[in-house]
Structures are given as structure tokens and as C-alpha cells.
């Protein structure tokens, strides 16, 4: 197991903030173009790696997560967000919440349970057709288990963590339709159980920089 440095930035206004994680990402990417980690583009080319800065809207609160080098970027710019524009609406920022901590990440000796607090985009186009072509729910669930394990392995590689053993997991999710860039997508809501420690609000799966697949650990009773 390793520790990740995670910087969580939350923004509050004097009126309810309405907008999407994609709009939040667009605001920061446009305002701070010099920081590659904010927009995942280098010299106009998309950087294919696990995003170290991720944008979420959690229960109406715009939230930006910085991981390791992404944390360093947020430390430099968080104070500059005096107002934010989401779509055609501008919101004055009245309160900025910051939380900086080191959090364990990696394979563990115990099973932890997590909720998806934002929808999980598990399936690429190929797996989407495989999912619908399967005979029964057991086969579909097995595909989702393998997909989740693949997500965690891919995430680990980008964070320079070598998984030292077998990831074991189960999923309890339901399909939900979502739209991204005006395209209908299949997403999943629910929870999963895995022998892996994941910091709260980090994303798993596709389009995590735009807020999808954010997780939160379900604390056992008595803790």
C-alpha cells in the first residue's frame, strides 16, 4: 500500500450553484491554461493517463480533487477562484473549503465497501455490446467485476503503484442512462466491495475528470 496526497477544494456561493462537472472543468481549464494537469492536454494533444485533477459536483457543491502533482497545482491556484462561470451563469465565491491529507491507496488485507456517489461509466463501446449480448445477469455481473478490477489496475499503473496480489471484488449496481457530450451512455449506480483502499471522491472508470465514477467508502458500524 502507498499514500497519496489528496487536496480537496470545495466552492460555495451566496446562491445555489447550478452546473455540471464538465462545465467546472471547462472553467478551470480556460482560466488556468498554463497547467496541463487541469485540462489533460499538452500542445493540443490529449494526455491519456489517470487524471490527477478531477472535477465533481457533489450534492450541489463544486468540488475539485488534486492527487499528488495535481495537489501541488491546486495549492497554487485555489485562492484565485473568486468567481466561477458555469455555462452562461456566473457565481460569486463566498467560501473556499480546502482539505489536504495523505490517504492510503492500494491492496489491503480486508474488504472495504464503497458507494458510487456519481455514476460509474464502466463500459467502452465494445463491452457495451458484449454486456447486452450476454445470456443472464450473472454473466453481466462477472463482466462488471472484471471491468472494475481492470479500472483499479489501470489507475494504479498511472499512480506508479504496482498491485502486489489479486484484487477480489463484487458489485451491486444498476444500469442508468446518462448523457456526455450529447451522447447517450450506459452508466451504473450502486456500490461495490473490494480488498483495496481508495481515497474518498477519487473516480474510477471512464471520464473521471468530468466527475464520473466518484466513490466514497461506507464506514462500518461503530467507526
The H or E element containing residue 91 is: strand 89-116
Question: What's the pTM value of the predicted model, to 2 decimals?
Answer: 0.89
Note down pLDDT in tens along the chain; length 223 residues: 999 999 999 999 988 998 999 999 999 999 998 888 887 655 455 556 899 999 999 988 999 999 999 999 999 998 888 899 998 999 999 999 999 999 999 999 999 999 999 999 998 878 888 888 898 999 999 999 999 999 999 999 999 999 999 999 999 999 987 766 666 678 999 999 999 999 999 999 999 988 999 999 998 654 4
- Inter-residue contact 116 to 172 (CB < 8 Å): no
First and final CA of the chain: distance in angstroms?
A: 22
CA distances from 93 to 25, 28, 75, 105 (A): 16, 14, 17, 32
Write the DSSP symbol of residue 86. Answer: E
The domains found in the chain, sorted by start residue, are 2-101 (3.30.70), 105-218 (3.30.70.1900)
Amino acid at each position: 500500500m502507498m499514500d497519496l496526497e489528496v487536496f480537496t477544494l470545495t466552492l460555495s456561493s451566496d446562491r445555489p450553484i447550478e452546473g455540471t462537472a464538465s462545465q467546472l472543468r471547462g472553467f478551470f481549464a480556460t482560466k488556468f491554461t498554463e497547467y496541463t494537469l487541469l485540462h489533460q492536454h499538452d500542445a493540443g494533444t490529449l494526455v491519456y493517463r489517470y487524471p490527477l485533477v478531477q472535477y465533481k459536483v457533489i450534492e450541489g457543491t463544486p468540488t475539485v480533487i488534486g492527487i499528488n502533482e495535481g495537489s501541488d497545482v491546486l495549492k497554487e491556484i485555489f485562492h484565485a477562484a473568486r468567481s466561477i462561470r458555469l455555462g452562461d451563469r456566473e457565481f460569486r465565491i463566498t467560501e473556499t473549503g480546502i482539505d489536504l491529507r495523505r490517504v492510503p491507496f492500494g491492496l489491503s488485507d480486508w474488504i472495504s465497501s464503497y458507494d458510487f456517489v456519481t455514476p460509474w461509466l464502466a463500459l467502452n463501446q465494445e463491452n457495451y455490446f458484449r454486456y447486452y449480448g450476454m445470456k443472464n445477469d450473472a454473466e453481466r455481473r462477472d463482466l462488471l467485476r472484471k471491468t472494475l478490477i481492470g479500472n483499479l489496475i489501470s489507475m494504479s499503473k498511472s499512480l506508479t503503484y504496482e498491485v502486489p496480489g489479486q484484487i477480489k471484488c463484487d458489485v451491486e449496481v444498476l444500469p442508468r442512462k446518462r448523457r456526455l457530450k450529447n451522447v447517450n451512455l450506459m452508466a451504473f449506480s450502486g456500490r461495490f466491495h473490494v480488498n483495496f483502499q481508495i481515497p474518498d471522491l477519487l473516480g474510477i472508470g471512464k471520464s473521471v475528470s468530468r466527475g464520473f465514477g466518484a466513490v466514497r467508502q461506507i464506514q462500518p458500524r461503530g467507526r
